Amino acid sequence: MKIISEISELGQAAAALLAGDLVIFPTETVYGLGANALDATAVTKIFSTKGRPSDNPLICHLTSMEQIEQVSPEVSDLTYRLFSCYAPGPLTLILPKLPEIPSVVSAGLPTVGVRIPDHPITQEFLRLVGVPVAAPSANLSGKPSVTAADYANSDFADQPAVKYLIDGGRARIGIESTVLDVTGEQPTILRPGKITAEQIRRDLNIEVVYASGSAQTPRAPGMKYRHYAPEAPLFLVQGNSDEIAQCILQVLTDKNIYTGNVGLWLPKALMKEVKCKILAMRPNLNLTLADYGDMVEATKRLFAQLREFDLHNCNLIFAFEESESEAGHAYLNRLLKAAQS
Ligand code: TXA
Ligand code: MG
């Protein structure tokens, strides 16, 4: 795999993608592992390289709204309004699929996910290739998504199908796009992201609902898989610093952990007291501390932090379960999935 970061080097990566190889590229949400969406053989390599189940469909990445005609037969008024407001940006729309898009891209569904990512080097890359680029997040299946080139490199360095990694720095948002299905009666968010239902209602006066829970068959097939999981078990804690410390100490006692390394991912306001209370009772423990100021920062750093705890060989990780809020909705969704895995 060759790592590049200059616009002048994009031509080589574009040629590799058009020749059927895989290219990792940055976006504002997370890095993507891309293939030419019109080439079924190339797209198949994504699934084998990631270890991704073949019934989990991929998003097609485009450079502009004009390019939608390569993947979908129509641009409805609703699609036009949504993309006019949010593209380029962290919004994926589920649209009817053209037959030219091989069924391996959509996992056999008659629909296709479409997104116009907001990252200057990737905009240029997509313009150069001129074809829709099918891409999932650039992580091995089940692992936390990738928000910086180093993590993509560590997941895929020894994979011959991946020819280029475009390093575009740290992802600005840090979790994946909002997936909004506009093929049914009611626009439905299948995966929450930075763009919320409330925001779409405020900005465009369009009524959008969240897909209801786990009881029904998942409509975004990706909702049913093991996700975002660090190697170490992840526990969620709530309450004030006393309650959090109590809860952590109880888990440590239950698991007979008196030495070793434990990761803490907490709001800044809680970290110091929780740390002191734990070390008072468990002086031989090694704590790996990571704190955040607000939801934007927590969201941006979550996936990288989960990977960092693993790199520090943590035996257990404790993270604060934020209460539900519009700004924290997507963050909490990913955190809960990481903890359930
Ligand atoms: O921000 C993002 O969306 C990143 C960057 C790379 O663009 N991509 C990403 O891809 O997160 P992936 O494959 O990790 O997640 C795609 C999600 C999955 O939950 C998948 O099931 C859903 O989108 N999806 C894709 N096509 C679909 C379709 N036709 N119908 C329903 N859900 C679909
Ligand atoms: Mg993913």
Say yes or no: CB of residue 30 within 6 Å of ligand 1. yes
- Atom 31 (ligand 1): residue with closest C-alpha? 220
Distance (Å, rounded) from C-alpha 334 to C-alpha 302? 9
Say yes or no: CB of residue 220 within 6 Å of ligand 1. yes
Q: Which residue type, as a one-letter code, is found at position 221?
A: P
Say yes or no: CB of residue 97 within 6 Å of ligand 1. no
For the chain, the straight-line distance linking the first and the last C-alpha, in angstroms and rounded, comes to: 30
pLDDT 10s digits, 231-260: 999 999 999 999 999 999 999 999 999 999
pTM of the model: 0.95
Ligand 1 binding pocket mutation candidate from 179, 225, 228 (most atoms within 8 A of CB): 179
Say yes or no: CB of residue 88 within 6 Å of ligand 1. no
Ligand 1 binding pocket mutation candidate from 176, 177, 214, 333 (most atoms within 8 A of CB): 176
Distance (Å, rounded) from C-alpha 161 to C-alpha 46? 9
- Atom 13 (ligand 1): residue with closest C-alpha? 136
Which of the four pLDDT bands, split at 50, 70 and 90, describes residue 217?
very low
Say yes or no: CB of residue 115 within 6 Å of ligand 1. yes
Which pLDDT score, from 0 to 100, does residue 227 have? 78
pLDDT 10s digits, 4-19: 999 999 999 999 999 9
- CA-closest candidate to residue 112, choices 90, 92, 137: 92
Which of the four pLDDT bands, split at 50, 70 and 90, describes residue 108?
very high
Give me the residue label for tokens 């993270």: 319
Rounded alpha-carbon distances, angstroms, from residue 290 to 74, 205, 271, 321, 334: 47, 39, 8, 14, 18
Say yes or no: CB of residue 168 within 6 Å of ligand 1. no
Instruction: Kindly identify the ligand whose nearest atom is closest to the C-alpha of 222.
Output: 1
